[in-house]
């Protein structure tokens, strides 16, 4: 390997990441015939879904139908479970993220994740929380570049004005909504092209939920977002595309219907979709 490829990437002056080979524009994700198992138990069967660049795709459906498993497959977190296996392909702008030559850390750098429960490092400062991903992915930056990156990411997460005078305070001292936005800022620091969100508002109050949704709307212009939500109103508010997952009794999860969000809610093709989005089950 030559010196150019051995070099550790650095943060450039604009707050982007130089040397990563990662564009600043959002990427499309294309899942093809995804099936998944935990041991002998199959949880997904032949799930195919294209998630367009620069849009918010909402994954909806009752509990236990494989939505969160599918989300974790999209950035190779499924394989962290010892008994987990899968079949199929996940393409990021046409490149298979499960390609044997692609390091897992590279896939997760391009496809970030925000979890249901905010998980900042509680004793670490707000400033260091934002930068935590740089150390994990081997990115170096001088102090000025770090300062700029922290301000940029907190601004994108809607937190800068609230926290700019408290950057050395511990992240664990923030409110739940602020902690979740701090986690979003931390994910953005490594410049992902896709951001996965697993019920990011389920533990938050309505005011914090509104702020997170507004943040998502702003971010979607520069990062593709895929969100799992049980809140049908939220799916309608934030997404341009929906996919409805369902698992029949004893059967693995699959997609019943997917397409334009407005059409899915106003004129769904499948009667099961109509029943679900109108609260008749789930």
pLDDT tens, position by position, 216-252: 999 988 999 999 999 999 999 999 999 999 998 889 9
- Structural domains in the chain plus CATH codes: 26-116+194-277 (3.40.50.300)
Given this model, what pLDDT does residue 140 score?
79
Average pLDDT over residues 108-115: 92
pLDDT tens, position by position, 177-218: 999 999 999 999 989 999 999 999 998 999 999 999 999 999
Q: Are strands 241-246 and 254-260 parallel, antiparallel or unpaired?
A: antiparallel
Is the pLDDT score of 135 beyond 90? no
Given this model, what pLDDT does residue 138 score?
73
The structure tokens listed for 149 are 């990156």
Distance CA(129)–CA(280), nearest Å, equals: 42
Q: Which of 114, 86, 97 is nearest to 28 (CA)?
A: 97
Q: Is 242 helix (H, G, I), strand (E, B) or coil?
A: strand
pTM of structure? 0.88
């Amino acid at each position: 390997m030559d010196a150019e490829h051995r070099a550790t990437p650095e943060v450039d002056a604009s707050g982007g990441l130089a040397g990563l080979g990662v564009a600043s524009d959002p990427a499309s994700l294309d899942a093809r015939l995804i099936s998944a198992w935990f041991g002998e138990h199959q949880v997904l069967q032949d799930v195919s879904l294209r998630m367009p660049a620069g849009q918010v795709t909402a994954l909806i459906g009752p509990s236990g139908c494989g939505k969160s498993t599918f989300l974790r497959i999209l950035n190779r977190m499924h394989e962290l479970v010892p008994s987990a296996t899968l079949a199929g392909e996940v393409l990021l702008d046409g490149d298979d993220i499960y390609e044997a030559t692609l390091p897992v850390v590279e896939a997760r750098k391009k496809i970030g994740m925000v979890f249901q429960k905010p998980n900042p490092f509680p004793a670490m400062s707000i400033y260091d929380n934002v930068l935590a991903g740089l150390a994990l992915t081997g990115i170096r930056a001088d102090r000025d570049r770090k300062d700029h990156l922290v301000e940029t990411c907190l601004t994108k997460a809607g937190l800068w004005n609230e926290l700019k005078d408290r950057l050395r305070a511990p992240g664990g001292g923030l409110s739940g909504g602020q902690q979740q936005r701090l986690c979003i800022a931390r994910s953005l620091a490594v410049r992902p092209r896709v951001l996965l969100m697993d019920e990011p508002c389920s533990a938050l109050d309505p005011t914090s939920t509104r702020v997170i949704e507004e943040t998502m709307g702003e971010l979607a212009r520069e990062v593709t977002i895929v969100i799992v939500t049980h809140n049908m109103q939220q799916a309608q508010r934030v997404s341009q595309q929906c996919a409805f997952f369902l698992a029949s009794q004893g059967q693995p999860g699959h997609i019943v219907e997917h397409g334009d969000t407005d059409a899915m809610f106003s004129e769904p093709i499948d009667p099961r979709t109509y029943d679900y989005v109108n609260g008749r089950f789930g």
